[in-house]
Structures are given as structure tokens and as C-alpha cells.
Amino acid sequence: MALPSQFADIEHLITAGWAIGDEAARNRQRRASSMAELQAFYNTLLPRMDAIIQHLNQQSLQALEPANQALLDLALMFMEVAPAVEIYKDPDVPWGFEAARFHILPA
């Protein structure tokens, strides 16, 4: 899967498994990753988020091409990872609801 050409520098995140389309799967990926992995993903995507948002704002979310869908999936994964890096300093929520009891329902 390729990203739009202006985002070729972050395509390696797709092959590394970070473009996840399902919210529950993104949550599981975050909790299964080490802080070093989350920090590396975060550090790679943070400087590109403004450009990603500007690009996606020009697209119809109801009819995304596969490359744009992959870019959206990376952005959603970034939003999943950001609190772990910025606030919790842990892949899980240390003082939160037990993750095993937390169920994300499909939309």
C-alpha cells in the first residue's frame, strides 16, 4: 500500500503495521507496543500531522482512495498513541479502567 506521493517519507509506517483501520485494533496495538515503539511512531508522525490534516481536509471521507485511507488510518493511530506518549508515559492507562474489561463497540 502506498501513501499519496508527498507522504512517501512515512510509508515505512504502513509496512511496520501502524495503519490500522479498526478502533479496537488500534487500541490493542497501542497496549501491545513498547514505549520506545510508541515514541518512535509519534516522533515520526508529529512533524507531518499538519500536512496530513490539510491533505485529508481536501478529501471526501465517504469516498477515500486506498492511499488516502491509509493516511487517515495513520492519523487515527497517531491520535491513539499521543496520550500514551504525552500524558500517561505508558502504553496503557496506568490509573484507568482495566483494559481487559474495556470493549470498543463497532460503529
The predicted pLDDT at position 93 comes to: 84
The phi, psi pair for 53, rounded to 5°, reads -65, -45
For residue 26, give the 3-state DSSP assignment: helix
Mind listing the pLDDT tens digit for each residue in 24-62?
A: 899 999 999 999 999 999 999 999 999 999 999 999 999
Grid coordinates belonging to 51: 500536512
Mind listing the pLDDT tens digit for each residue in 67-101?
A: 999 999 999 999 999 999 999 999 988 877 676 77
Alpha-carbon gap, residue 66 to 11, rounded angstroms: 13
Alpha-carbon gap, residue 77 to 83, rounded angstroms: 11
Grid coordinates belonging to 86: 504525552
